[in-house]
Structure 1
Amino acid sequence: MGIFSRFKRKNEDAGEIAPAPDTRLRAGEPSRLPQDSEAERARLREIARATAAKIDAIESAMANDIFNTPEPAWGSGPRRPLTSFQQEQGGPGTLPMVEIPTTELLGDDVLPDAPVEAQAAPVVEESAILYANGQAAAAEHMLRDSLGEVGQLDRTVWWMLFDLYQAGNRPHDFDNLAIDYASSFETSPPAWNPLLPAASASSQPYAGVTPTEVLEGTLDTHIAPQLERLAQLAAPGKPLRLELGRITQLAPDGCDLLARALADLHARGSELVVAGAAELAALARQSTIIGQRESSPAPWLLLLALLQLLNREKDFEETAMDYCVTFEVSPPSFEAPGKVATATSAPASVERFMLPPIIEGDNAKLFGAIEAYAQEGDSVLLDCSRLARVEYSAAVALQARLRGLAGSGKKIEMRDMNHLVAALFKLLGYAGVVRLFPHKY
């Protein structure tokens, strides 16, 4: 997920979005700064944008190291002894719903400057259970009320709230929270990256192996067959996955091919999961020099296409103006990315099994499909980039199935989870069976 976010968004569906709840960080204190005026909001935006320039430079320099190094999975550290309740009930998988806060640290890959807690805050566990049981409003109020105290020590509560708004397609509330986040930590907030269409778009939302193309090495004409295969696999309701994080060098002809392919998929309304788009955008920016008219425009057009995928409208508009000045032509116009989700690159090249937006009720068919997919190899990679919510009882049942696969020697990973689902899985003891990788903010 990209690192920068737009603070003001044109929202054609504003009438369908519920207003942000009037909650408080602490009793009697406003959840926003008192000077809640346009001038103050503009000042807060400038705080994030000033920091953005520095972070963008660091991101460009470090992207290769970060995404070529295997990221740590949750549960890799020492586990705490079971509580007396857990011992009586037979293990961590039988924890009560709210009464006993006894999980390990929620997330091993915390921010460098985030304090390390001995265990997850109770609000993290309780909110995760409320959300899993369909009580999103109660989970939201609990998370918002904890921002002023727990949220200043553990950013997990912020990330869970960001994910709640993205799962609910609430960009206005997301932007308001982003302003609070920027003013609290003086850093750029997460970018808006909503989930792909959920069950409302189809009576049978897709779940299964995701067709994937991995582009690596030098981006030149050798990618043409892969892009042709991707176009042939595009079908309504069937997501595609495109891995871009392994590209190390750019050639103008390859930039042109990829930019055209992305534009074609966008025009066809294809559902797309793009991994490594931010890293490739940083690489493409190195090939764009303002005023160098004799250079190829292809890296510029690829950069603009990637910024559109990442939904970074402000960066897109600024780059488009630089493109216009350099080549003295009209730049492309920004369009919302549509049915696109972004993810981080993973070292594994195993085909992924994409989980549906919601897992609840009778899941015998889904569990059977996962087990059939697992028979194809020793590695089981579950893609959670579209997964919005897992019902508590379904999460327990899924854990039992995955424990069976792990017992037969399968290596299981769950990647790109939102932090609400990740907190629930952590609470239930998934880390003893599966390597968990929540998406990074």
Structure 2
Amino acid sequence: MGIFKLFGKKPGREESNSSDKPASKKTRVKGQNTVIGQFQDDEALTHSLTEKKHIARATERKIDAIEFEMSRDMGRPKTLQSKSPVDEPLKRTGPNQFHSDFIATDFQSTIALSLPTTELLLGHTELNAPSMAQTESIPLLEEAAILFATGQIKVAEHMLRSAIDLDNLGNATPLAWFMLFDLYQIEQNQYAFESLSLDYAGKYETSPPVWRNPETSGNEPESKDESAIPSLTFPSKLDGDIIKLLQKLNNFSENSKVLKIDFGRVKSVDPVGCGLLLRAIRNLKKSKHDLVLVAAQNLTEQIRSILEVGRRDETEAPWLLLLEVLQLLQLKEVFEEASIDYCVTFEVSPPAFEAPTSKVTTAVAEAVPEVDTSDRFLMPKFIEGSTDELVKQITTHSKLHDLVILDCSQLERVEFGASAQLLNGLVPISSTKNKSIQFHEVNYLVMHLFNAMGLKNVAAIFPRKQS
């Protein structure tokens, strides 16, 4: 009986065996599937944990790599983030084209300049978009503009200075002068600017461009008063691109014991940006800097929006940044609640609250209108990194105006990669029926970059008057 019972058989009833076999077989298969299912679940869990560990390491390595680049760049001259020697002599490669051994020689451009005559170049003729004719492109000047856009300031200066000395660009030579004037103005090199002004006045027997002091140029004032607090405003997205802002923050920290940091514009954060900011804040705590935090609670809200209790993301940086900011704000009860959530999520002991040893002051961000409803859209001082937010704002502005005028009076520099993104972002606007785009008051370095990158094909470009 034991044997028959084991195999599902009953003695003396062979006819019923066939009906019992499928049921017994199904039981065995079900049991096997349960075991296999449990094994697959365990394997999937193990794979998921391993994958998260790899992602976490990758995120930390990315943060380390960005910080390494920052520390390496900080060891270079401030006006030249390039490995290229700046004193390399320029060599002639063809008509109106000069380069050094470390400058690309295959640069080609088919984009025409936006200036029809020498009178217009010298600012004696009013600009009118419909009448602007296309003239021959000047590759040397466009190459200098690209070098400036990529941060090779000294190389660009060397090229423009050589072009002026050789004086072989014909009617386009004044453009080289204006580009160099703009370069010295942006670099705040007043001595070189005034020296160039004397040469310009002697050559053209006309008044040179006027030096614009920072406090009267229309840009955000940067007071030279030693009692002024250096201020840094973070952009709408807190990601890996903030490394350039953190470089400025590091420079400010070397010259001032008090720093003002504004988070009022932050609308989103990611783990990499949180990791970079976390390290910067910890360094400021170690150096015992006094801080003025503007809209810090807005930052905590954006960090909370990407966190979930019990969910282990690729890095702990957002959680740790949240706890760090709450300590700076001296919100002990809120800190303890967040530390318990962090403890539950990562199964670690909750960190203890540590009040800041330096002075921390909070401030409310000034109200900034989301949409520019004026006739002109004011472009920022610098365009670098991602241009998604800028293009979004221009698009919103364009919905209110058929003629989209982009005021570049404050715009000093456009990063090379950002110019390509800006072009792609403006194409849909320019292709809309009855819509047209115009850049006004563009400095000559940016104008030649725009020409080289093809923005002239989607918008009219009006250079800044030299007066």
TM tier, smaller: 0.3 to 0.5
Structure number with the higher helix fraction is 2
**Greater C-alpha Rg:** 2
TM-score of the superposition, structure 2-length normalised? 0.41
